[in-house]
Amino acid sequence: MDVDAELLHRARSLLSGELEPVPPRAAATVALIRDGAGGPEVYLLRRRPKLAFAAGMYVFPGGSVDASDLEQRTPDAPWAGPGPKIWAGWFGTDERTAAGLVRAAVRETFEEAGVLLASSVSENPATASAAPLPGDPATSSIIGNRPTTEVSETERADLEAGRISLRDLLIRHALVLRADRMAPLQHWITPELEQRRFDTRFFVAALPPGQEPREAGTEADLRVWLRPAEALRADLTLMPPTRAALSELARYATVAEALAAEREIRVVQPGFEVVGDRVRIVRD
């Protein structure tokens, strides 16, 4: 059975109720941006051509939420900025899932781009050991300026391989997760037609001072900074969510504007229909 025939058979089976759609996996994706001479630039990765999902596509760093992202352990790593309750409201989910999405966003950005959305905790032992609750305003008083470059490539690889959790990495280096450098961007769910499905929340995040992306991870063969409008005009292979995110980011003149913008995050889940012997993806 060729690919088109298999897709048609799957579509008809789903529409008839003979087949149940695959449950989507929670995922987080981060549009990392920086101010450039002509306006904000966004960091894009081209996925290797032989990958099972989105092969050859230009994407933002991101991936599935894993079990360690959802763990609630004491003490937790300090967290600066909007807490899980606020993120849950923005993304329409529960607080545990919201916290997991933020941690996954930070973890995946470090794994795939080598950029860690974190900064140092004060060297004051009494303050640093307090480990404030996520979103606690007092957290801002413990943020220092020590760079995060001391986190080694070996540790990044260990994080990617699951040998260490983001929580343990942050605590080891006395770092605070910087949710205040991030903002909600959009929310997409893969069509029910697909066999690999994701329930993905998109974040926009400012490149931290003193950090630059590096060739990290194993899934990308090319990495570029482009202005969103340039990326849309270029001959890049983009999935609809990536294209929609770039269109949104192209509206802003600075990184600060992109982070401060108020957005209503609506769930976008394209549907599908069978027309004759063809399957067509439909978006409202």
Instruction: Please tell me the predicted confidence (pLDDT) of residue 216.
Output: 75
Nearest to 167, CA basis, from 93, 98, 106: 106
Q: How many Å apart are CA 225 and CA 244, to the nearest integer?
A: 17
pLDDT at 3: 61
Q: What is the pLDDT of residue 112?
A: 92
User: What pLDDT does residue 33 have?
Assistant: 97
Alpha-carbon torsion (211, 216, 220, 223), positive or negative: positive
Quick one: tokens of 216? Answer: 């990290």
CA distance 30 to 178: 13
C-alpha span between 28 and 43 (Å, rounded): 15
Compute the 3-state secondary structure of the chain and give helix, strand, coil in percent, each to the nearest 5: 35, 25, 40
The residue length of the chain stands at 284
Give pLDDT, residue 158.
Answer: 92
pLDDT number for residue 51: 66
Q: Give the CA-trace dihedral at 75, 77, 79, 83, to 10 degrees.
A: -60
Walking along the chain (284 residues) 10 residues at a time, the average pLDDT comes out as 77 92 96 95 88 79 95 87 97 97 97 93 42 39 49 90 94 94 97 93 95 81 93 92 96 97 94 88 78
Task: Give CA–CA dist 202/196, Å, rounded.
Answer: 18
Q: What is the per-residue burial (b if ≥16 Cβ within 10 Å, else e) of 19-33?
A: eeeeebebbbbbbbb
How far is the C-alpha of 261 from the C-alpha of 227, rounded, in Å?
A: 18
Which pLDDT does position 89 carry in this prediction? 97
3-state secondary structure of 40: strand
- Residue in 269, 194, 174, 219 with CA at minimum distance from that of residue 61: 219
Q: What is the set of domains in the chain, with CATH numbers? A: 3-282 (3.90.79.10)
